[in-house]
Structure 1
């Protein structure tokens, strides 16, 4: 409900007449007037009962007097379940259903109330089902009259007469107190009542289905992720739309979307709790990281938050925020390649590494391999080969070379660059059994550098697992899903990524550090 709008008598009367004519929904009229749905309903009831004069500002101050007979008849009809307070008020042209409720309340409180205020001067009490049955039996079997029974049970003769009539029509079930119970949930006592109950049930079921369909359309069912504050944001907006524009009750709308009414009203008040505000801030940082590196999943985003944004959060929270924003890491493609024996190997080494993928210090164990990339110039497909050496201690790329041909010169230059950057290195050098690594020349280069050669077994790609893993990381984060149209573009991407990998890419196996940070720490130790 918005801020109440000052309206003159003619504007109020216009809105009411539009509602009565069916040209405007009551919720829409209430929204235009800046009042609640119940207030608008009261205006309409007063207008029906007293005309336009009831809408004046001093209308509430003008008290109407009601006869004793009318008040008693209204209360009896309400207490016997013949209609709701609002329906009975409209039937007898009373100002509102609240007046019926007030009369019934005074009836139960045993209090006198001045007639000029519309009170009921009856001192009555509630009667149990057993008392009603006993009173009816005394009338039917003992022959006692209505005045005697009304005096004995503290009620009126008309009430006792209504008990007898309902007992004769419906039996003991007719004497049950069904006030406050929804019609569709009651057990029918007559054929007519069963039809009314079934009709009410079907109408309510249809109403709820229609409301749920409208809500799901408005909330965007199936969109977004699972962070509660963000997911419920759309649901809260849908509830507000349903209540203000479609006239659905807030409680029913919240129940249909499985959210709490208290949560909706807190959101509606515009006051967000501290955690919601913090989640919104984190979502902005997560989106910024994702825009810079779309390949990152929630774990690496969490590491970046802690390292570069001084915002440590746990993995689950980062995952919820990423899901709410539709962020996920790039997929891992199935690898079809594997180590194959060279057709005519000149030298073969044993698998000395034996899958011991760790090292205590840098330049203790090096792995190497060659991988293939493609780029397109018009309809022609061109290939580019990357050879690299990886250190098992800090997982840095020691050296790499790009060439258009996969030949021995490619791996020889890669080794030369690694030795030039690390002249004192004498590591265990592991590779697969590619033809470049099984030549006598390459073996002699390793021996001259004081290195021990190790080779993967045939058909055992995992023997060179960390090197294969680096290829997968590079291609998954920068290569797959893109189409490179020039050699320069592809080479630039590879060079920039290897620099990023060595100096900026955090790795949890390294204690959330970069390879070069670990290398520097080890050299300083």
Structure 2
């Protein structure tokens, strides 16, 4: 009998689904790099899943399932469009051509130097500048700078193309600071204010999310743990402090719940779990995955959460005690006492659910899993000097080794 995998079954199934969703366009190594395993490990998971499910016998069923999911998605989209307010559709409310909003001659206001340059052969520069009440010296300086302006425009156009590429690769989620950090990471020496100006000019924006209602349901009868963090969401070393929380995701007409565990030092998501329920097993599964990610030895780690019933449950306290984890809790009704987790949820929802609704559980699981792996491996974090959590951990461990050697 083979050795038991250190990765939870939920994680392995989601990794297999992520590879299959690529439809053969991405290699095992490419998907595995995002997930954080080797290509051969992912290949063996896919092979085991194929053997277990007997996919060569069930292709017809799978095709039908995909068709049903697509039909459900289209129906949901049609319903959304039918409910849209009158006048917000494409071209709705556009002023009629020739209407009172626009006046003849207002469409284009020619710049003064362009006008002088265009008509200089007919009227002469001196006369044109006198009539327009502008200086000739200013006009000649403008003519002398034509080459430099053309080069600057070309450089701006090239930079805008790079900005759009970064913005597209990260699915429209990056704002000015992360786009700037990504360009600097590529070795592009560019000023942040210039990036900001070009993004504003070309209407390239990151995503923003409105605040949602709080979902924590406290168990006032359960004995609380002390607050060992006191809103100090910083840590000198990895596995010094963790934090966790639960959020919800709307899927069609129902809900899916997601629990995560983050390392406060590196902001890395060490463990997560998704389910259609919000029972204590949800947070226990996420904690078990976090412990497995760190190799099983986490004695002394502080785990901070809110006072939700799942985190105050006796079963969760017993699991923490078995691992040697010290529990910590904030006050009832204070989101600031678990601000790091709240900020993480805002990022996830802003970048995965912007103006959209998941139709099926399978779609929701796949896209959230994909974002979580992307967040760990590639997404630049402002609190980490715009490194990804995995890059930060690698640098942190390398610095620790150098300090020990010295």
TM-score where L is the length of structure 1: 0.50
Partner of 1:441: 315
Deviation at 1:477, TM superposition (A): 1.7
Give the conservation status (yes or no) of the 8 Å contact 1:372–1:385.
yes
Partner of 2:87: none
Partner of 1:418: 290
Q: How does 1:265-344 map to 2 (within 5 A)?
A: 265=143, 272-292=149-169, 293-308=171-186, 310-337=187-214, 339-342=216-219
Partner of 1:70: none
Match of 2:378 among 504, 507, 524: 504
Q: Does 1:450 align with 2:327?
A: no
The answer to which structure, 1 or 2, has the higher relative contact order (CA under 8 A, 6+ apart) is 2
Q: Does 1:521 align with 2:395?
A: yes
Match of 1:387 among 234, 259, 263: 259
Give the conservation status (yes or no) of the 8 Å contact 2:244–2:259.
yes
After superposition, the C-alpha distances for 1:350-406 in whole angstroms (9 at most, x for unaligned) are 212111111111111010011000122xxxx12111110000010000011111111
Q: Does 1:218 align with 2:108?
A: yes
Deviation at 1:315, TM superposition (A): 1.7
Counterpart CA distance in 2 for 1:493 and 1:252 is 65
Q: Relative to 1, partners in 2 of residues 1:439 and 1:271: Cα closer, same or farther, differing over 3 Å?
A: closer
Deviation at 1:486, TM superposition (A): 1.8
After superposition, the C-alpha distances for 1:225-281 in whole angstroms (9 at most, x for unaligned) are xxxxxxxxx85898599869xx9x97599889xxx74576468x6764543332222
After superposition, the C-alpha distances for 1:194-236 in whole angstroms (9 at most, x for unaligned) are xxxxxxxxxxxxxxxxxx97664125xxxxxxxxxxxxxx858
Match of 2:365 among 491, 513, 517: 491
Q: Does 1:430 align with 2:304?
A: yes
Give the conservation status (yes or no) of the 8 Å contact 1:266–1:272.
no
Counterpart CA distance in 1 for 2:103 and 2:143 is 22
Partner of 2:63: none
Q: How does 1:97-496 map to 2 (within 5 A)?
A: 216-218=106-108, 239=115, 261-262=139-140, 265=143, 272-292=149-169, 293-308=171-186, 310-337=187-214, 339-342=216-219, 345-376=221-252, 381-422=253-294, 423-426=296-299, 427-496=301-370
Deviation at 1:523, TM superposition (A): 2.6
Counterpart CA distance in 2 for 1:289 and 1:354 is 37
Runs (4+) of structure 1 exceeding 4 A deviation are 212-216, 234-244, 249-256, 260-267
Give the conservation status (yes or no) of the 8 Å contact 2:215–2:247.
no
Deviation at 1:304, TM superposition (A): 0.8
Counterpart CA distance in 2 for 1:266 and 1:218 is 25
After superposition, the C-alpha distances for 1:79-100 in whole angstroms (9 at most, x for unaligned) are xxxxxxxxxxxxxxxxxxxxxx
Unaligned runs of 5+ in 2: 1-101, 401-406
After superposition, the C-alpha distances for 1:128-176 in whole angstroms (9 at most, x for unaligned) are xxxxxxxxxxxxxxxxxxxxxxxxxxxxxxxxxxxxxxxxxxxxxxxxx
Counterpart CA distance in 1 for 2:112 and 2:168 is 28
Give the conservation status (yes or no) of the 8 Å contact 2:113–2:142.
no
Give the conservation status (yes or no) of the 8 Å contact 2:217–2:309.
no
TM-score where L is the length of structure 2: 0.64
After superposition, the C-alpha distances for 1:312-367 in whole angstroms (9 at most, x for unaligned) are 2222111111111111221231232164422x543311212111111111111010
Three-state SS of the structure 1 residue aligned to 2:311 is coil
Counterpart CA distance in 2 for 1:396 and 1:253 is 66
Counterpart CA distance in 2 for 1:311 and 1:404 is 45
Three-state SS of the structure 1 residue aligned to 2:213 is coil
Give the conservation status (yes or no) of the 8 Å contact 1:372–1:383.
yes
Q: Relative to 1, partners in 2 of residues 1:401 and 1:262: Cα closer, same or farther, differing over 3 Å?
A: farther
Larger Rg: 1
After superposition, the CA RMSD in angstroms is 3.1
Give the conservation status (yes or no) of the 8 Å contact 2:244–2:305.
yes
Q: Relative to 1, partners in 2 of residues 1:371 and 1:236: Cα closer, same or farther, differing over 3 Å?
A: farther
Q: Which 10-residue stretch deviates more, 460-469 or 503-512? A: 503-512
Deviation at 1:521, TM superposition (A): 2.2
